[in-house]
Structure 1
Amino acid sequence: MKTYTLITGASQGFGKAMALEFAERKMNLMLVALPHSGLPQLSSFIKEYMDVDVRYLELDLSTTKSCYDIAEYVDKHKLQIKYLVNNAGVLSRGLFEGLNEEFILKQIAVNVTTPTLLIKLLLKNMKAAAPAAILNISSMASFFALPKKQVYGATKAYLTSFSKSLGKELKKDNISVTTICPGGLNTTTRLCYQNRILGWIPRNTVLNPKEASRIAINAMLKRRKLIVPGFINKCLMLLDKLLPEFIKDALTNREINKFPAGKLQT
């Protein structure tokens, strides 16, 4: 039976790296990303040079209709989804007071509503492909209180918590749920610059997308529940439990203040 891996936010950055990694492992793909983001070209390249079947949809995942459009396409074309990767996300943008309401709601829609609804709509399909797996892309921001990342961190905290509970429920259906919580990723020129001006410790939490995609996919296939990639990142998780709050606040504020208000953050 031919099965597919469905990846959201698949045209650029981490999503693109995962699409290429899955294709190298000879897994057929169903890719979803924003219109005009290079998805048709990526899909054609993978299909031509990597010998796997690729389907794609260009959709804005900030609307719930897009989730239903994906489910309808899967049903109409009788695609069997074995792996679902919820990667699409809206990143941070600055101090809460300066954010407009439309941006906040869009961030919550893409980061929270879309992965939740997409899992719900595709669950019956995935049960038929069991053993199957869900890979949710969260963030280390889900564990920390970070100025300028307040909504982003909260949405990722939801995804991390939701994944843990869902994994327990779906165990009986032979569907695993893996959450990966990376630090920074060098996915764009802007982010490469931002990551370079950080201090030594946060700078060394950053991974390149290809390395992160390999770690994430391996963890999913091994049915691991939660993974924080990178040695420094693991150390930071431990230090968070040991350091007093005032020291953590001082370290956090020093790094956050390197970014001008209103600039895109990871």
Structure 2
Amino acid sequence: MMPPMYSLITGASRGIGEAFARTLASEGHSLILIARDLQALTALQQSLTAQWGVKVVVIDIDLRDPNATRIIYERTQKEGWDVDLLINNAGFGRFGEFDSHPVDDYVAMVQLNVTAPMVLSHYFLRAMRERGQGAIIHVASMAAFQPTPYMTVYGATKGFLRAFSEGLAGELRDSDVRILTVCPGLTDTHFFIAAGADLTKTLDAAPKMLTPDVVVKESLDALRRGTMTVVPGLKNRIVAFLSSAIPHRIGVPLAARILGRQFKDQPHQR
């Protein structure tokens, strides 16, 4: 009897990660859920097991710790958990002028948004190729399409993730391993609260927030179609297209004016 395959989701305790977990559990997937909040993970584990009868493993660990990815991988190897779907969803941002936040916040952001998904992809990709099946989803952001003033480091990390993911998709185009880049716009999650962002001055001009369930549905549909990159939401796709088409010399000053109204005068943190 073949051992069960697992879908591993980082940032699984809430928001888009939780929505991925609920959707995949409803389809019968065994799950490995990664996040820092053990209480939230355990509650989600119990809910999914009770509702769908699937196997759900939780690992409470902070992916900002450089050792965390190795610990996760070694645990999967020790337990014999074969991962055929990796969803690199965990991430966080900071909003405001670049020097308004401690530099350690940015170092942690690069570790979580850039290094962790790259390392986890490297760990699990080879076995997927050897099995002749598997998929990796990277949750980037619409901030990946242009340099983004007042969320400068966050946008840069998502730009890296998009470029890395699309490049990897190109390498694997003739294989049976699929790579999908998801670039959500504003989504109704805990992200902006955690980032300390008050968006009251910008939400009126932005496309309506999507729910995590909509983002996940469009993402999984795109994965099954073999799409390389998806921007959930029609209005978001239009904005992403325009962002890609506008030269940086025009787009960056425009973004600075729009976002500066919201974030320029935020108090500096030390």
TM-score (normalizing by structure 2)? 0.88
Q: CA deviation at 1:62?
A: 0.7
1:108-127: per-residue Cα shift (whole Å, max 9, x none)?
A: 00001000111111223323
In the superposition, relative to structure 1, how do residues 95 and 252 fare at CA in structure 2: closer, same or farther (>3 Å)?
A: closer
Judging changes above 3 Å, is the alpha-carbon distance between structure 1 residues 161 and 246 closer, same or farther for their aligned structure 2 residues?
Answer: closer
Aligned to 2:84: 82
**Distance (whole Å) between structure 1 residues aligned to residue 50 and residue 168 of structure 2:** 37
2:219 counterpart residue number: 216
Report how far residue 68 of structure 1 moved. 0.8
**Which segment drifts farther, 105-114 or 245-254?**
245-254
CA distance in 1, matches of 2:255, 2:106: 26
> Would the alpha carbon gap of residues 246 and 117 (structure 1) be closer, same or farther in structure 2, given more than 3 Å must change?
closer
Aligned length: 262
Return the letter of the residue paired with 1:249: P
Indicate the residue corresponding to 2:73 in structure 1. 71
Q: Mark the runs of 5 or more structure 2 residues left unpaired by the alignment.
A: none
Name the structure 1 match of 2:173: 171
* 1:5 alignment counterpart: 7
- TM-fit CA distance, 1:202: 1.1
Q: 2:240 matched to 1:237? A: yes
**1:111 and 2:116 equivalent?**
no
Give yes or no for the alignment of 1:253 onto 2:257. yes
1:43-192 equivalence runs, <5 A: 43-188=45-190
C-alpha separation in 1, matches of 2:69 and 2:44: 21
Q: Secondary structure at the match of 2:46?
A: helix
Letter in 1 for 2:118: T
* Residue identity (%): 28
Structure 1 regions of 5+ residues with no counterpart? none
Q: 1:91 to 1:67 in 2, by over 3 A?
A: same
Report 1:13-28 matches (<5 A). 13-28=15-30
| Equivalent pair of 2:214/2:232 in contact (CA under 8 Å) | no
Q: Deviations over 1:152-208 (max 9, x none)?
A: 0111111111111111223344211100111111103965x945653544143x211
Asked whether the 8 Å contact 2:146–2:248 carries over to 1, the reply is no
Q: Residues of 1 paired with 2:73 and 2:79: CA distance?
A: 10
Contact 1:199 1:255 in 2 (8 A): no
Look up the SS of the partner of 2:75 in the other structure: helix
